[in-house]
Amino acid sequence: MSASVPLRLESVSKSFGDVQALKPLSLHVRAGEMLALLGPSGCGKTTTLRIIAGFEMPETGSVFIGERDVTELPPNKRALGMVFQNYSLFPHMTVAENIAFGLKMRGVGAADRLARVRQMLGLVRLAQFEDRSVHQLSGGQQQRVALARSLVTDPAILLLDEPLGALDKNLRERMQFELREIQRRLGITSILVTHDQEEALTMSDRVAVMSEGEIVQIGTPTEVYERPRTRFVSEFLGTANIFEGIVKGEAGAGEWTVALDRGGEARLAGDSGLATGRRVSFAVRPERLRIGPPSGSALMAKVQDVVFRGSYYAYELVVAGQDEPVFIYTQSRATVPADGMVGLSWSAQSAILLGERPSP
Amino acid sequence: MSSRALSEPAPPIRTRRSGRFRLARISWTWPALLFLAVFFVVPLGANVLRSVTGPETAAHGIFAYYTKLLTDAYYAGILIETFRVATVTTLVCLLVGYPVSYFMVRYAGRWNGLIVFCLIAPLLTSIIMRTFGWNVLFARRGLFNTWLVQSGLIDRPLDILNQPVMVYIGLVHVLAPFMVLSITSVLQGVDVRLEESARILGAGKIATFLRITLPLSLDGIATGCILVFVLTNGSFLTMLLLGGGKVTTLSLLIYQQFNLTQDVAFAAAMGNVLLLFALVCLALQARFVRREGVKQ
């Protein structure tokens, strides 16, 4: 296995017709890390991946693999491995022929090819499937063949384009760990493109959240989940309850008191630069909100619905005067009075200040 | 397959109902079957009968006409010529058609509809019109010759119209759309990501084409080739109107036997041999065109 190499994009941009798919974007993927490009469809994550792969030519900027500028190189000269969403296995070849294809293209002899193919089949636990036709495999098995095929040539960078998108939920969760484990073991620098926030958080070392052709936040899964910088990021990374209000003053020890627009007061932690009178919006994750008695709570809300979701209860509540409902996830059922009116509270630490101006 | 086998036997009520429904479906095909019997099977049988009961069969046995066709140097030559014309036309159509198909599927985008229209539109005009069009272009005083003479490339007009190559031009012109449409329909099912996978795995553009695109479009190529081959075998108007009578194929000979020589029994025998050609081609198509595995 060759040593891990970093990947660098420097102000890469791309337009399709009048649409700017990618605003000048710079990205540094560290050697051996798995970086997820996460975002809704049309955010530019796939375009970014296709530029790295060499299927699209960027209008500006350069792509570096290690120290080598590969911007002008065709895909076959970039030493990449790629797993496509539908696996893209060659239907007219057996499992072994599929995996051997990249070696064949590199002029590796038949005996060496067979040895490497068997080694890869062992890695993805498909040893007995060598001579099967790819039609005879299940989705998960096809996915593993695709992975083996992309890794057999010992690529510098592994590109994963929604690799688990076509699998059902249980298999997907298992494959997330399996893929992650193989990637770690080989120490191969990887880019994962996905619109599934859970997949991105589970599998990657760092997550780059993309929106409208640019990276809006990049950080470890914990950072982007716990400290989203914008409303978009907080909403995209799972349900978030957004509250708005005006800073009333400092409450000591890096905490601030905020007068909420819908009545009540709440505390907000962190960020020293908050001036009194400034308008702020902040997010609170559903699992961080607490249902309590009306007295001593920040906000009053009426319970609309309770859903049991297996490992937790999901409450849907309405705050008077606010259109969007508030969601709360709790491990145990809360006591709700007959009129459904309860108090909402949260710790100052779990209120996440959002950078964006609140929308009018 | 196995799941269906497991779910049987179906409940009795359902079986009875579906049985009645099946019966009804078969009865619906009677008009069509009757039509085919009267206008296809009966004439075909009559043609076979005619070929084995003509005047010459009295002296030389019932296969007299077939023996003559296959052993007489002149007729055997025409059989070979027929085969040659069909093979060359098919290959030229393939070489001309494949790039067009590839362009349509991979690059045409929203222009695809227009290209399909341009391919199909000529099929709506009569083959005689299309063939005469070449006369206008390549006649002694036609557009092509006039242009060549005026540009000073040649002194006297060329006699292109009466060359065998004109037959090939005419045939390719008429039949290439069939090749293009056959290949296009299969090529559309070849996911572009398969080609991209090959590229990422280190294959250059040519290797990707030879190892991925071409093998996966073989079904379309086979269908197109067999279609063009059979259609070439069956066409005689192009040979009649172009090439100055220098290319004689079996179908043209049948036309002549019926209309000029009026040797109906011999013409019938030729027709049956040509039909056999077509049936062999169709059997080959059924055997080799699998239509599997292109789409995932």
Task: Please give the domain boundaries of chain A with CATH numbers for all domains.
Answer: 7-227 (3.40.50.300), 239-354 (no CATH)
Q: Do B296 and A86 touch (CB under 8 A)?
A: yes
User: What is the predicted ipTM?
Assistant: 0.79
More confident residue, B286 or B192: B192
Q: Nearest Cα to A31, choosing from A164, A186, A178?
A: A186
Q: From chain A, pick out residues whose CB is under 8 angstroms from the CB of B193.
A: 84, 86, 88
Model pLDDT, residue B113: 86
Q: Is the pLDDT of residue A52 over 90?
A: yes
* A253 pLDDT above the threshold of 60: yes
In angstroms, what separates the C-alpha of A102 from chain B's closest C-alpha?
5
Q: Is there a contact between B199 and A74 if contact means CB atoms under 8 Å apart?
A: yes
Highest mean pLDDT, choosing among A36-40, B58-62, B157-161? A36-40
- pLDDT at res. B10: 44
pLDDT of residue B8: 44
**Distance of alpha carbon B49 from alpha carbon B250, whole angstroms:** 20
Q: Inform me whether the pLDDT recorded for B211 exceeds 90.
A: yes
Contact residues, chain A, for B207 at CB < 8 Å: 105
Closest chain B C-alpha to A154 CA, distance in angstroms = 10
Domains of chain B, with CATH numbers? Answer: 67-125+160-288 (1.10.3720.10)
Question: Is A287's pLDDT higher than 60?
Answer: yes
CB atoms within 10 A of CB A206: 17
Q: Percent of chain A, pLDDT > 90?
A: 41
Q: What is the pLDDT of residues B242-277, one digit of tens each?
A: 877 788 888 888 888 888 888 888 889 999 999 998
pLDDT at residue B87 in the model: 94
Query: Which of the residue ranges A64-68, A189-193, A211-215, A340-344 would you say has the lowest mean pLDDT?
Result: A340-344
Q: What is the dihedral of CA B184, B186, B188, B193, to 10 degrees?
A: -130
Give the least confident one: A320-324, B109-113, B190-194. A320-324
Report the C-alpha gap between B49 and B54 in whole angstroms. Answer: 9
Q: What is the pLDDT of residue B23?
A: 60
pLDDT given for residue B291 in this prediction: 52
pLDDT of residue B11 exceeding 60, the answer is no
Interface check A16 vs B, CB under 8 A: no
Give the mean pLDDT of chain B: 84
- Per-residue confidence (pLDDT) for residue B9, from 0 to 100: 46
* Lowest pLDDT segment from A119-133, A328-342, B202-216: A328-342
Please report which confidence band the pLDDT of residue B5 belongs to, taking 50, 70 and 90 as the band edges: very low
Strand-pair category, A80-83 with A157-161: parallel
CB contact under 8 A, B201 and A86: no
- Closest Cβ–Cβ partner in B200, B204, B294 for A53: B200
Q: Is B214 on the interface with A (CB under 8 A)?
A: no
Residues in chain A with CB shorter than 8 Å from the CB of B191 are 86, 88
Q: If you search the block for the tokens 């222009």, which residue do you land on?
A: B111
H, E, C per residue of chain A: CCCCCCEEEEEEEEEECCEEEEEEEEEEECCCCEEEEECCCCCCHHHHHHHHHCCCCCCEEEEEECCEECCCCCHHHCCEEEECCCCCCCCCCEHHHHHHHHHHHCCCCHHHHHHHHHHHHHHCCCHHHCCCEHHHCCHHHHHHHHHHHHHCCCCCEEEEECCCCCCCHHHHHHHHHHHHHHHHHHCCEEEEEECCHHHHHHHCCEEEEEECCEEEEEECHHHHHHCCCCHHHHHHCCCCEEEEEEEEEECCCCEEEEEECCCCEEEEECCCCCCCCCEEEEEECHHHCEEECCCCCCEEEEEEEEEECCCCEEEEEECCCCCCCEEEEECCCCCCCCCCEEEEECCHHHCEEECCCCCC
| Arithmetic mean of pLDDT, A161-174 | 85
Mean pLDDT value of segment A92-97: 93
Mean pLDDT score of chain A: 87
Confidence of residue B2 (pLDDT cuts 50, 70, 90): very low
Please indicate whether, in this complex, the C-beta atoms of B200 and A90 are within 8 angstroms of each other.
Answer: no
- A50 or B113, greater pLDDT: A50
The pLDDT score that the predictor gives to residue A280 is 84
A261 close to A272: Cβ distance less than 8 angstroms: no
pLDDT attached to residue A62:
94
Tens-digit pLDDT profile for residues B31-83: 899 999 999 999 999 989 988 887 887 788 888 888 888 888 999 899 999 99
| A346-358: pLDDT as tens digits | 888 888 888 644 4
User: Across-strand partners of A307?
Assistant: A314
* Total CB pairs under 8 A between chain A and B: 68
Highest mean pLDDT among A181-185, A288-292, B237-241: A181-185
Q: Is the pLDDT of residue B4 over 50?
A: no
Q: Chain A contact for B198, CB < 8 A?
A: yes
Q: Would you call A76 an interface residue with chain B, using a CB distance cutoff of 8 Å?
A: yes
Q: What is the pLDDT of residue A60?
A: 93
Arithmetic mean of pLDDT, A216-230: 89
**Residue (of B222, B220, B198) closest to B105 by Cα position:** B220
Over residues B180-187, mean pLDDT? 93
Q: Predicted confidence band at A19 (pLDDT cuts at 50, 70, 90)?
A: confident
pLDDT at residue A175, rounded to an integer: 87
How many separate helices (H) and strands (E) can be counted in chain B?
18, 0
Flag whether residue B216 sits within 8 Å of chain A, measured between CB atoms.
yes
